[in-house]
Amino acid sequence: MTKIGIVGCAGRMGQMLVAEVLNGEGLALSGGTERPGGDAVGRDLGELLGRGRLGLPVGSDAKALFAASDVVIDFTSASAAAIHAQLAAETRTAYVVGTTGLAADQEASLRQAATRTAVVWAPNMSVGVNLLFSLVEQVAALLDPATYDIEILEMHHRHKVDAPSGTALGLGQAAARGRDVALDSVWQKTRDGLTGPRKAGDIGFATLRGGDVVGDHTVVFAADGERIELSHKASSRQIFAKGAIRAARWVIGRPPGLYSMKDVLGLA
């Protein structure tokens, strides 16, 4: 049995992940944690999900959870992910990270942890989105940057705190790889006022927020006379939980390294 721990187990994604582990063949829930002092700490994980008592209370000691697990899944926050990466390295526990909005130093924490344990990190754990990443890279490589402009549109629920979304940035990175350029040298994240004409080769982003939208992403390749659009629309967060469990199953036994969902899906 693969022992899986969930940090941030009381949140929306955390509860979905716990449910996926409990329903998964060959999987065992090693536990779940929340921030010290959180309302859920001490409550039974099964009762938290409305499934009856499991005898596993929500804890607050993340290091103990890592030590008790074969792999830990994290959809918490960027600051927490950096701390958890250090714990994964210390305990040599495989680590699956779906958290977005990481700053450069927080990303460095993941890369450092990956020198001592296997880390799967993806801006989006959905199988469909990761297929979209590959398609965007292929299309960008085939289309002339002087002729086809790339614009990325994303919309999420009103509570999302980072923009552009990690998935939108991942799509931008895929397009930039296809064009063999660095994304930060060509991206245009905001437009306001008299911006002047669009610069050939730029990759633009547009961000929408509102309602309860789980996640909509569209990459537009626009030229004179035609437009190609590649889209993915998520109607349930369950797809992210299922993708994370797939990554957790895959990462067990892998050597230290930083992996992506492309590796998990055999697209690398």
Per-residue confidence at 143, pLDDT binned at 50, 70, 90? very high
DSSP designation for 30: E
Contact between 163 and 209 under an 8 Å Cβ cutoff? The reply is: yes
Helical segments of the chain, H only: 12-23, 45-48, 62-68, 78-91, 104-113, 127-142, 166-179, 183-186, 238-251, 261-264
pLDDT at 28 (0 to 100): 96
Quick one: average pLDDT of 117-145? Answer: 95
Tell which CATH classification among 3.10.580.10, 3.30.470.10, 3.40.50.720, 1.10.150.120 matches the domain 2-121+237-264: 3.40.50.720
Mean pLDDT of the chain: 95
User: What is the per-residue pLDDT across 224-239, written as a single tens digit (0 to 9) for each?
Assistant: 999 999 999 999 989 9
Cα–Cα dist 85/105, whole Å: 12
The fold of 127-234 is Dihydrodipicolinate Reductase; domain 2 (3.30.360)
Please confirm, yes or no, whether 159 is among the known catalytic residues: no
Instruction: Kindly report the number of other CB atoms within 10 A of residue 129's CB atom.
Output: 22
pLDDT at 1 (0 to 100): 92
- What is the CA angle 122-128-134, rounded to 5? 70
Tokens 């911006």 label which residue?
Answer: 195
pLDDT at 14 (0 to 100): 95
Cite the annotated binding site by residue number. Answer: 8-13, 34-35, 98-100, 122-125, 157, 166-167
In the chain, what percentage of residues exceed pLDDT 90?
Answer: 90
Q: Does 221 score more than 90 pLDDT? A: yes
- 63, 160, 189, 262: which is the annotated catalytic residue? 160
Cite the annotated binding site for NADP(+) by residue number. Answer: 35
Q: Does 268 score more than 80 pLDDT? A: no
Please confirm, yes or no, whether 217 is among the known catalytic residues: no
Cite the annotated binding site for (S)-2,3,4,5-tetrahydrodipicolinate by residue number. Answer: 157, 166-167
User: What is the per-residue pLDDT across 19-38, written as a single tens digit (0 to 9) for each?
Assistant: 999 999 999 999 999 999 98
pLDDT at 49 (0 to 100): 87
pLDDT at 183 (0 to 100): 97
Q: Give the count of alpha carbons within 13 A of 160, CB side only.
A: 23
For 88, the 3-state DSSP assignment is helix
| Token representation of residue 228 | 């190609």
Per-residue confidence at 204, pLDDT binned at 50, 70, 90? very high
Domain extents for the chain?
A: 2-121+237-264, 127-234
- 3, 63, 84, 156: which is the annotated catalytic residue? 156
Cα–Cα dist 95/215, whole Å: 24
User: What is the per-residue pLDDT across 161-175, written as a single tens digit (0 to 9) for each?
Assistant: 889 998 999 999 999
Respond yes or no on whether the N-terminal peptide bond of residue 164 is cis (omega within 30° of 0): yes
Name which residue leads in pLDDT, 63 or 268.
63
For 44, the 3-state DSSP assignment is strand
| Token representation of residue 74 | 């994290």
